[in-house]
Structure 1
Amino acid sequence: MAEAESLRAAYLVGPEEGRLYAMGRMRAIFKADGEETAGRYSVSEWWLEPRTLGPSVHAHADDHVFYVIAGSLSLCIGDQWSEAAAGTYAVIPGGTPHSFENRGAVAAGFISFNAPGGFEAKMADIAPALAGADLRM
């Protein structure tokens, strides 16, 4: 590894800080990605209003780790739906079909760690598509 790569600056990202993607009943705030992580990973915070659909079941090459921080998140991994309460981790290897939604009566939030980096570049297409969709259950 080149010395310049290992000398990236450390920093703090406060609550509600980062790159916001508003998608109607859902929002994502990217906390670290791209040059900040040398393309190795991305970290984002996702929030869904009560009774909100997520994206359709999909798969992509990067690995995900979701950590539920508030409410309860309905997760589809493979072909099985499960309820994930606050404090739950979900490990989703690349290529695994998955989705999420909030079937509950309170907001649900989760942290998404993606590796390798690059998922953030897809948000330019994902955000407008979800913002234009009716995500109400």
Structure 2
Amino acid sequence: MGRMRAVFKADGAETENGYTISEWWLEPHSQGPGAHDHPEDGVFYVLEGVMSLQLGEAWIQAAPGDFVLVPGGVTHDFQNQGEVRAGMLHFGCPAGLEAEMPGIVDWFASHPLGEA
């Protein structure tokens, strides 16, 4: 995806659809996926850099070691407004997000990320 990269570490097939785990990496000054929601609960754990996360109408800054809960159905987004690469783990419960990834990748291929 260029300025944004996702790596799935565990998916529904491996966890009996209990959860999915993925890494998300953004280059400096990169927008994320855009505001969206999905039915699964999500927890983000910041690994590196500082992520700006939208939860509903509010934006927060999350630093390494921070956990951020995104309940299912809540509109959210993330971006890296910083000067260094930023990354986080995403835990989705139940699994399911990974099944949407081929369509998401296709969409981003025709809608490149902008600057944050």
Report if aligned partners of 1:30, 1:43 keep a CA contact under 8 Å in 2: yes
With structure 2 as the length reference, what TM-score do the two structures score?
0.95
The answer for unaligned runs of 5 or more in structure 1 is 1-22
Give the equivalent residue in structure 2 for 1:56.
34
The answer to whether the 8 Å contact 1:66/1:111 transfers is: yes
Alpha-carbon distance in 1 for matches of 2:59, 2:102: 28
Report 1:4-15 matches (<5 A). Answer: none
2:50 pairs with 1:72: yes
Q: Which secondary structure state, in structure 2, belongs to the residue aligned with residue 28 of structure 1?
A: strand
User: Identity of aligned pairs, percent?
Assistant: 50
Which structure has the larger Rg? 1
What is the aligned counterpart of 2:94 among 107, 116, 131?
Answer: 116
Q: Which runs of 4+ in 1 moved over 3 A?
A: none
Correspondence 1:125 to 2:103: yes
Structure 2: distance between partners of 1:57 and 1:85? 20
- Alignment CA distance shift 1:48-1:131 (3 Å): farther
Aligned length: 115
